[in-house]
A and B are shown apart, each in its own frame.
Chain A
């Protein structure tokens, strides 16, 4: 039995290795980026121990997405902020990673577009344009770290959080509408 198992493992080891490699590739494989989010006007404000960042975005909300919002599908955007230490010798080291969300949602009963900004504040707008204009501005995203006067960079990324979409939309990988992502925006701290 042991011998059979060993022979079996020996025979299938090659297949197992290939499967593991493919799994790793699939997990690591970045989503097809449409780069529909453009980060601009990034301002980093320093106050004593806390830093604040604000930036504007350009997001291409096409008719399908607007329709989805009006159908009550909430759109949550994930803002990922990383403070990294750049070194010529060593690999980039992440000093801080902070994730924030802002969201737009249409409340059917009250016929308002509710915005929850990155700090958790809620705003309601009667018209979608007002609501969209609101979410395009991210303000007062706070972060703090011990600044050792090192060569730190700030990496910023905004993406539509597909995990908060309804499941059918999540798993429909053929629909590229929901692949909204920004390039990595890099800024010197």
Chain B
């Protein structure tokens, strides 16, 4: 559209110039060219009207669609158009009025009368001269008619000279020259028309002749009536120039009069053409200015529209929107400022994005750490609403959902009454009146039914200007406590072994020596008492020795000699040792992988477990011991289960501790030793009650090395 309007502007200017030249100089452009020019102008005006109509339609469409900048463009177009139309219309109306009056003023009545007067004067002068030459001619004709033939020339010449006539020629009816007399010696007279001679032969006939519009001649024909009636009729032709001064004046008056008359006649045409031209010029100027106003308006509004669009883009987050430079005016300054602002925003956004990414990385890092922490971490606000937690915390609090965000802590904790003390402690801490609360920690030994856990809870307040949050670090230290207990028992066992085992042998020897030395010296009754007493001492010492040895075994640092072991073969080997193996059933999966372990220690583990099961099955009618060997991913699972009396709930949580046993006999060190051996093999052991009756021990080894 820009190109079309530019072209239109060029064509419009060219047409205006041509039109102006055509009007000012009619000789320059022929009527055909002028017609083409007019046609072109009309065509161009129609094109401009169509162009403007299309532009208006498009602009209104844009306004309707609420395209940015369209309203401003419309407003500017209207303003520019009004600025153009009003003054041009005023000038046009004034010009048309002025033009019409000017053309009318050319044809003043006085001028016309004066010209008519001048022309009439010229005509009258010529008429007088014509009358004069008529009289002279008639006089010459009369004289020649009464003269003899041989005197005609002299009479003709004398009278011609006397009357001051330039040429005198006598013709007969056949246009034959009879006599010639002239001021010009070598005059060859031209033959007049037959019509002129015929008219001149009948009566006086005069004509005014014009030669090249410069000279006027009076030419008269007069019949010569001869006295000899029988002779041919002759015609006298006299030619007399009108004096140049009179002729020039008369011709110039005629010329001006003719021009004036022509102008008078064509004044309406003149008016029409001038008004038409003026209208075309007006329309060209007006429509060109309106068409140009679209370009100019768009030129003004487009940068602002671009700014508006760019602003919209920026509001959507596209900070890379840069507007092209628009010159050095205020709009250019605005655009440069806008681009600068956009660049700064982009830079700031980039930095913010980087910070956000860093924050995200840090958050992810923290979340990863929290997720992989075995310690439970919960962040709560002062209303005890959970804001953040990790998976361990959820598991530790035995919550089904991993995420506990925006849930009241009491709802989570009070689901399980085991953790009530924890909540009470937290509530007391948070609701307490202390300002500047310090970090606190407390160990809880929680027990409910058969479950017993040792929890360490640490509360750390985090305060900022707006609120205070609390980080609860929950650590299940049950295993640690158990390990400590195992370690303590180990120490006790070692001391017992050392402090008790040493005096036992002297005691036993002393008792045997007393019996040996005094049994023969005492009477039978005393001897029996002595023997019974010494036997009691020896037996109790032996019992103590056995107990001390077991303690020593538990306490002794184990030296593990690992080698490849086929657990299924080992189990088969051990079972063969027992006569009761009929009650033992084995279920093995195929291709059980080998493990890397101390075969002797594992044999001891299997024997301990089978013996424990045998002890539990003593009063059972249909005793059964089931052994399963399963392969898992990178693991081998050994399960020993029985349908015995089972382990009471009170002790099942501490069953791997020394001296914890449900049996009436025994030291309670068997499962403690089993637990120790399994731990030394980096395995896992778990003991559980079977729902109806019986116990299941599950041991997991890593397969391979």
A78 on the B face (CB < 8 A): no
Shortest Cβ gap from B404 to chain A (Å): 68
Query: CA separation between A27 and B40, bound complex, in Å?
Result: 11
Of the residues B30, B47, B266, contact of A168 by C-beta under 8 Å: B266
Q: Which of A60-96 contact B (CB under 8 A)?
A: 67-68, 71-73
A174 on the B face (CB < 8 A): yes
B79 on the A face (CB < 8 A): no
Shortest Cβ gap from B263 to chain A (Å): 8
The interface residues of chain A lying within 8 Å CB-to-CB of B4 are 11-12, 15
Does the CB pair A168–B43 fall under 8 Å?
Answer: no
Residue of B nearest to A31 (CB): B35
Per-position binary interface string of chain A over residues 15-47, scored 1 when its CB falls under 8 Å from any chain B CB and 0 otherwise? 100010011001100000000000000000000
Does the CB pair B208–A172 fall under 8 Å?
Answer: no
The interface residues of chain B lying within 8 Å CB-to-CB of A166 are 262-263, 266
Residue of B nearest to A29 (CB): B39
B254 on the A face (CB < 8 A): yes
A175 on the B face (CB < 8 A): yes
Residue of A nearest to B271 (CB): A168
Knowing A11-B4, A168-B266, A169-B266, the reply to whether A108 touches B258 (Cβ < 8 A) is yes
Knowing A107-B210, A109-B122, A171-B269, the reply to whether A71 touches B264 (Cβ < 8 A) is yes
Does the CB pair A110–B261 fall under 8 Å?
Answer: no
Query: CA separation between A170 and B265, bound complex, in Å?
Result: 13
Knowing A72-B261, A109-B253, A111-B123, the reply to whether A172 touches B269 (Cβ < 8 A) is yes
Q: Which of B1-55 contact A (CB under 8 A)?
A: 3-4, 6-7, 11, 26, 30-32, 34-36, 38-40, 43, 47
A: contact size bracket: 20 to 34
The interface residues of chain A lying within 8 Å CB-to-CB of B264 are 71
Knowing A11-B4, A12-B4, A68-B265, the reply to whether A107 touches B39 (Cβ < 8 A) is no
Residue of A nearest to B3 (CB): A11
Does the CB pair B39–A26 fall under 8 Å?
Answer: yes
Shortest Cβ gap from A66 to chain B (Å): 12
Knowing A12-B3, A163-B31, the reply to whether A71 touches B265 (Cβ < 8 A) is yes
The interface residues of chain B lying within 8 Å CB-to-CB of A27 are 32, 36
Query: CA separation between A19 and B42, bound complex, in Å?
Result: 12
The interface residues of chain A lying within 8 Å CB-to-CB of B250 are 109
Does the CB pair A168–B126 fall under 8 Å?
Answer: no
B270 on the A face (CB < 8 A): yes
Knowing A22-B43, A171-B35, the reply to whether A72 touches B258 (Cβ < 8 A) is yes
Knowing A12-B4, A72-B258, the reply to whether A109 touches B273 (Cβ < 8 A) is no
B75 on the A face (CB < 8 A): no
Query: CA separation between A169 and B270, bound complex, in Å?
Result: 8
Does the CB pair B126–A109 fall under 8 Å?
Answer: yes
What's the dominant secondary structure at chain A's contact region? Answer: helix
A187 on the B face (CB < 8 A): no
B88 on the A face (CB < 8 A): no
B257 on the A face (CB < 8 A): yes
The interface residues of chain A lying within 8 Å CB-to-CB of B263 are 166, 168
* Residue of B4, B208, B266 with most partner-chain A CB within 10 A: B266
Query: CA separation between A157 and B254, bound complex, in Å?
Result: 34
The interface residues of chain B lying within 8 Å CB-to-CB of A107 are 210, 254
Does the CB pair B43–A171 fall under 8 Å?
Answer: no
B119 on the A face (CB < 8 A): yes
B251 on the A face (CB < 8 A): yes
B492 on the A face (CB < 8 A): no
Does the CB pair A23–B40 fall under 8 Å?
Answer: yes
What's the dominant secondary structure at chain B's contact region? Answer: helix
Does the CB pair A171–B265 fall under 8 Å?
Answer: no
Query: CA separation between A107 and B3, bound complex, in Å?
Result: 57
The interface residues of chain A lying within 8 Å CB-to-CB of B38 are 171, 173
Q: Which of B234-285 contact A (CB under 8 A)?
A: 250-251, 253-254, 257-258, 261-270, 272-273
Shortest Cβ gap from A60 to chain B (Å): 19
B207 on the A face (CB < 8 A): yes
Residue of A nearest to B253 (CB): A109
A54 on the B face (CB < 8 A): no
Does the CB pair A173–B261 fall under 8 Å?
Answer: no
Shortest Cβ gap from B120 to chain A (Å): 10
Query: CA separation between A19 and B210, bound complex, in Å?
Result: 50
Shortest Cβ gap from A128 to chain B (Å): 15
The interface residues of chain A lying within 8 Å CB-to-CB of B36 are 23, 26-27
The interface residues of chain A lying within 8 Å CB-to-CB of B268 are 172
Does the CB pair A171–B254 fall under 8 Å?
Answer: no
The interface residues of chain B lying within 8 Å CB-to-CB of A68 are 265
Query: CA separation between A110 and B126, bound complex, in Å?
Result: 9
Shortest Cβ gap from A96 to chain B (Å): 24
A98 on the B face (CB < 8 A): no
The interface residues of chain B lying within 8 Å CB-to-CB of A110 are 123, 126, 208, 210
Shortest Cβ gap from B213 to chain A (Å): 10
The interface residues of chain B lying within 8 Å CB-to-CB of A11 are 3-4, 7
Query: CA separation between A27 and B263, bound complex, in Å?
Result: 28
Knowing A8-B3, A167-B26, the reply to whether A172 touches B273 (Cβ < 8 A) is yes
Does the CB pair B3–A73 fall under 8 Å?
Answer: no
Of the residues A71, A73, A109, contact of B254 by C-beta under 8 Å: A109
Of the residues B251, B257, B269, contact of A169 by C-beta under 8 Å: B269
Query: CA separation between A67 and B268, bound complex, in Å?
Result: 14
Of the residues A8, A111, A168, contact of B269 by C-beta under 8 Å: A168
Per-position binary interface string of chain A over residues 158-189, scored 1 when its CB falls under 8 Å from any chain B CB and 0 otherwise? 00001100111111111100000000000000
Does the CB pair B265–A73 fall under 8 Å?
Answer: yes
The interface residues of chain B lying within 8 Å CB-to-CB of A124 are 207
Per-position binary interface string of chain A over residues 97-114, scored 1 when its CB falls under 8 Å from any chain B CB and 0 otherwise? 000000000011111100
Q: Which of A97-154 contact B (CB under 8 A)?
A: 107-112, 124
Does the CB pair A108–B210 fall under 8 Å?
Answer: no
The interface residues of chain A lying within 8 Å CB-to-CB of B26 are 167
A51 on the B face (CB < 8 A): no
Knowing A26-B36, A26-B39, the reply to whether A108 touches B265 (Cβ < 8 A) is no
Does the CB pair A109–B123 fall under 8 Å?
Answer: yes
Does the CB pair B31–A170 fall under 8 Å?
Answer: yes
Does the CB pair B257–A108 fall under 8 Å?
Answer: yes
Query: CA separation between A174 and B35, bound complex, in Å?
Result: 11
Residue of B nearest to A9 (CB): B3
Per-position binary interface string of chain B over residues 334-377, scored 1 when its CB falls under 8 Å from any chain A CB and 0 otherwise? 00000000000000000000000000000000000000000000
The interface residues of chain B lying within 8 Å CB-to-CB of A108 are 119, 254, 257-258, 261
A7 on the B face (CB < 8 A): yes
The interface residues of chain A lying within 8 Å CB-to-CB of B257 are 72, 108
The interface residues of chain B lying within 8 Å CB-to-CB of A19 are 11, 40, 43
The interface residues of chain B lying within 8 Å CB-to-CB of A73 are 261-262, 265
Query: CA separation between A12 and B9, bound complex, in Å?
Result: 12
Does the CB pair A162–B207 fall under 8 Å?
Answer: no
Does the CB pair B261–A71 fall under 8 Å?
Answer: yes
Does the CB pair A7–B262 fall under 8 Å?
Answer: no
- Beyond A19-B43, A109-B122, 9 additional contacts (C-beta under 8 Å) are A12-B3, A12-B7, A26-B40, A109-B250, A110-B126, A124-B207, A166-B262, A167-B31, A172-B268
- B interface residues (Cβ-Cβ under 8 A, vs A): 3-4, 6-7, 11, 26, 30-32, 34-36, 38-40, 43, 47, 119, 122-123, 126, 207-208, 210, 250-251, 253-254, 257-258, 261-270, 272-273
Question: What are 6 A-B pairs at a CB distance below 8 A?
Answer: A68-B265, A71-B261, A109-B119, A109-B254, A168-B269, A175-B269
Top 4 nearest A-B pairs by Cβ distance? A172-B269, A170-B31, A72-B258, A11-B3
- A interface residues (Cβ-Cβ under 8 A, vs B): 7-8, 11-12, 15, 19, 22-23, 26-27, 67-68, 71-73, 107-112, 124, 162-163, 166-175
